[in-house]
Structure 1
């Protein structure tokens, strides 16, 4: 087995090409799965593991970059199907995997009951005895292939990214933004931040992006979606966009229709940047591909504004 091999798994969440998990192959047929989609994706992920030629009892690790449901919702069902796996999770997220009730309640608030039932139903708790807490710098040994966990908050406080020295690449969850392959063209990849509720912090996000590129990676594997290689350029773009999105949110903060104004401002920003990138028909493309993300990003920006206001009032 090629020790550099990493298999991209399309979890099937909502649409093709939206949400990826990564199967990292070690020696002797052993493997680790990084991220896993929602609970409704579990059977599709298991089928992909089977198709990759990995025995289910040879999956030693399930690493979840953070505990948002599109990354960790399938952990409970998968841990029941992968008998030798241990779950690796950030210290701030571990209890939510053992007792997912707060995660479920939060997701219902964000997505609504109907969407939760369609896309997220079936979450199960993970046996605490099989949970490994990954502090910053924690190293997972995949049959001699080290996978190092680095704390990368900004999108969420319970987020780490995984450094794979064999490929000199990160598996970065949501810490390096969204970059859908529909936007790829002769100018390369197009990326935007993901500022979803409830723990978005612009300064932390920018620091995490800088931490990722400081390793001079050959590639960064992101959940939404796939592999990007122009890491320095994309990092600069993402850092600039974080500032621009924060400014849009601040400008809208006093408005009675704050959320609508943030959605409008972020949409206009993305269309402008997509046009500059050479995306064909940027208005239609941004609406079609990024419409759902813009809504969630605007919610996250609003939660951030409210948290900042509370902090000012308290101190």
Structure 2
């Protein structure tokens, strides 16, 4: 509740998209002088949640001017096409590398089906709808979105993915961070202080780029970060320092596990031990089993992302 009050004070509403589990995947509704924008949108199954939030704010579908995507991963953007069909005045804003996938989502579909299989893909995401190219705005670094005079500025932030951008809101002095500023689940809060960890991508994780993107965001002296996973957090400098330290540690763990007989299993074990140590030091209220249950999927994905990075680095070397 504290996090939602923090956001709503600036006309920003945190919306639980319902993806995977409660308080896991957020979209944001930004309201300014009767006009609105969504930042990220979850999956097709999330669209009714977003439309209800709009109604709860006293607004109709015609009030939405923008749907802004941090990147094209389906927990952030899978519902974009279906949502746009219900918003007659909205335009969709996406990174130059992400925009083509919104117009033609077939590569996204193929990639996700290869990971999940057709049955699980249909259950999690449904059928991805394309967005007409005429309704898509390609946002290069520094692109300004005008929401009834409130400027939302886009920043190219690779690291988690090369098609990732974050959005600066001067009004709230906050960044909508997608996955660049890591994950922070409310179940891991201790005495109101957030616990954070980086999130890699099995395809495009680049630790040095992620470090640089975090430093660029700090140049704006932000007071809060609006995370997709999950919700707004303060203490930005502390959390940024934690992320920098952890990214370095994750790289070291990956390099130490490289070349072993079962690299993946060793890396999952090493990451699990590392996050448990940090969680204990932070004073999280869950026991070890609870922490690992909450972070299990993220640990697996971080291990995969680090392995892809190791293999790509080796090919380049």
Scaled by the length of structure 2, the TM-score of the pair is 0.95
Q: Is residue 184 of structure 2 the alignment partner of residue 196 of structure 1?
A: no
Moved more, 231-240 or 298-307: 298-307
CA gap 1:25/1:281 in 2 versus in 1, 3 angstroms: closer
Is this contact kept in 1: 2:190–2:285, CA < 8 A?
no
Moved more, 55-64 or 287-296: 287-296
1:191 Cα deviation from its structure 2 partner: 0.2
Distance 1:201 1:257 in 2: 23
Which blocks of at least 5 consecutive residues in structure 2 are unaligned?
A: 1-7
Give 1:285 shift: 2.5
Aligned partner (choices 29, 40, 58) of residue 23 of structure 1: 29
CA contact (8 A) 1:248 1:266 kept: yes
SS in 2 for 1:122: coil
Deviation by residue 1:293-313 (Cα, 9 ceiling, x = unmatched): 11111111111111111211x
Distance 1:114 1:259 in 2: 26
Post-superposition Cα deviations, 1:83-137, rounded to whole Å, max 9, x if no partner, equal 1110000001111110111111112233343432221122111100000000000
2-structure distance, mates of 1:47, 1:256: 51
SS at match of 2:28: strand
User: Does the CA contact (< 8 Å) of 1:20 and 1:226 recur in 2?
Assistant: yes
Is 1:94 aligned to residue 99 of structure 2? yes
Instruction: Give 5+ residue unaligned stretches, structure 1.
Output: none
2:242 aligns with one of 237, 242, 267: 237
2:14 corresponding residue in structure 1: 8
Kindly state the Cα deviation for residue 187 of structure 1 after the two structures are TM-superposed: 6.4
Give distance in 2, aligned partners of 1:268 and 1:112. 30
Counterpart in the other structure of 1:155:
160
Does 2:259 align with 1:254?
yes
8 Å CA contact retained: 2:198, 2:247: yes
Q: How many residues align?
A: 310
1:133-148 equivalences in 2 (<5 Å) = 133-148=138-153
Q: Tell me the distance in 2 between the aligned counterparts of 1:204 and 1:220.
A: 19
Which of 141, 166, 174 is residue 171 of structure 2 equivalent to?
A: 166
- TM-score, normalising length: structure 1: 0.95
- Tell me the distance in 1 between the aligned counterparts of 2:278 and 2:9: 38
Q: Which of 67, 78, 97 lines up with 2:72 in the alignment?
A: 67
1:245-279 deviations in Å (ceiling 9; x for gaps): 11111112212311111111111110010001011
Q: Displacement, 1:4? A: 2.8
Distance in 1 (alpha carbons) for counterparts of 2:209 and 2:60: 39
What is the SS of the residue equivalent to 1:172?
strand
Moved over 4 A (4+): none
- Whether the aligned pair in 1 keeps the contact of 2:200 and 2:305 (CA below 8 Å) is yes
Structure 1 partner of 2:129: 124
CA contact (8 A) 2:43 2:75 kept: yes
What's the Cα RMSD here?
A: 1.4
Q: Give the drift of 1:284.
A: 1.6
Q: Distance in 2 between matches of 1:57 and 1:138?
A: 24
